Amino acid sequence: MEALLDRAASVLSAAKRVVVLTGAGISAESGIRTFRDTMEGLWKEFDPQTLATPQAFAADPALVSRWYDHRRIGCLHAEPNPGHAALAQLQQTLLGRGGSFTLVTQNVDRLHQRAGSTGVLELHGNIHIWRCTRTGREMPLPPEPLTEFPIRSPLDPAGLLRPGVVWFGETLPAETLLAAEEAASAAGALLTIGTSAVVYPAAGLIDLAAAAGATTIEINPTTTAASSRVDVVLIAKAGLVLPELLRRMTR
Ligand code: BJW
């Protein structure tokens, strides 16, 4: 582990352009369940992979919006953890050295921004802004849990509010995806953290960077679909290893 940490730190220090791709695992230590963890309590009989689809919303908008509202409130109550904080500091460190840094996240929780990261590319939208199914107009929800589902749109009597996230089968925000792909294609190093790397096109960014010659590093407590394709695998929790990586880069 020591040698791998040193190697990762020297790769990140030497790269002029660094791209970080995060997934649900980086927020696990903030108490937010990962996407492919089993749910608990009220929601344990529901499969997130079934609920996160336009088909589920069309079939049962009350159920799907209640689930997203429950998760939205969980995100509001969660706090960024040392992994989020280390990434915000890594951005400052690398920019201060004249390099470039792009943080691409699949997460919808906004914890990176709350930790101080800037310019975050949110591939799968975010859970705090909802939009009217009729007008497409977006709006934030109040900070307390809603009580009536589905949520009627205040903009159109025939419209509902849906979460501003990207469901399976929906396209990612085009400009955000393009910016992420351009950054990955120009990266000297790509660090993938806390993602099972099974959802595309996000997982494809790892291959895009590798094909362009970047050194790839993974942080995850278990091996993933990407582990056999990356150069350095750090089997560890993000909240423990990221501060240590940063310490080695700045000592
Ligand atoms: C820790 C930790 C700690 C724990 N520290 N780590 C190419 C091939 C095959 C399929 C496709 C393809 N291209 C497109 C597709 C179809 C589909 C897809 O990828 N399907 C695959 C699943 C088979 N993709 C799409 O539909 C995308 N749209 C699209 O491509 O449009 C064009 C198109 C349409 C139709 C056909 C073809 C093309 C849209 C994808 C949208 C994904 N949306 C979701 C829901 C968002 C809203 C919500 O949150 O509810 O995004 S699904 C879900 O998965 C969520 C996540 O962002 C995403 C990724 O999950 P993530 O982050 O990796 O979480 P987990 O739970 O899987 O993993 C957590 C990891 O953390 C684990 O590894 C743990 O070990 C680790 N961990 N503790 C570090 N402390």
Mean pLDDT, 10 residues at a time, over the chain (251 residues)? 95 97 97 82 76 96 96 97 98 97 98 98 98 97 96 97 97 98 98 97 98 98 97 98 96 81
Please report the sign of the dihedral spanned by the C-alpha atoms of residue 49, residue 54, residue 60, residue 62: positive
pLDDT at 15: 97
Confirm or reject CATH 3.30.2090.10 for domain 2-31+79-124+171-250, answering yes or no: no
**How far apart are alpha carbons 20 and 69 in whole angstroms?**
28
CATH code linked to domain 36-77+127-165: 3.30.1600.10
pLDDT at 251: 81
Tell me the CA–centroid distance for residue 195 and ligand 1, in Å. 8
Annotated active-site residue 124? The verdict is yes
**How far apart are alpha carbons 248 and 62 in whole angstroms?**
49
Tell me the CA–centroid distance for residue 4 and ligand 1, in Å. 27
Cα dist. 189→10, 38, 237 in Å?
11, 32, 20
pLDDT at 39: 65
Mutate to test the pocket of ligand 1, among 84, 112, 168, 171 (most ligand atoms within 8 A of CB): 168
pLDDT at 45: 75
Predicted model pTM:
0.97
pLDDT at 50: 86
pLDDT at 216: 98
User: What residue ranges do the domains of the chain occupy?
Assistant: 2-31+79-124+171-250, 36-77+127-165
Furthest-apart CA atoms within the chain: distance in Å = 61
Q: Is the CB of 221 under 6 A from ligand 1?
A: yes
* All residues at 6 or more sequence positions from 135 whose CB lies less than 8 Å from its CB, including other chains: 153, 155, 156, 159
Tokens encoding 27: 């927020």
pLDDT at 222: 96
Mutate to test the pocket of ligand 1, among 34, 43, 63, 235 (most ligand atoms within 8 A of CB): 34
Minimum-distance ligand 1 atom for the alpha carbon of 165: 47
Q: Is the CB of 225 under 6 A from ligand 1?
A: no
Tell me the CA–centroid distance for residue 251 and ligand 1, in Å. 36
Residue closest by Cα to atom 6 of ligand 1: 194
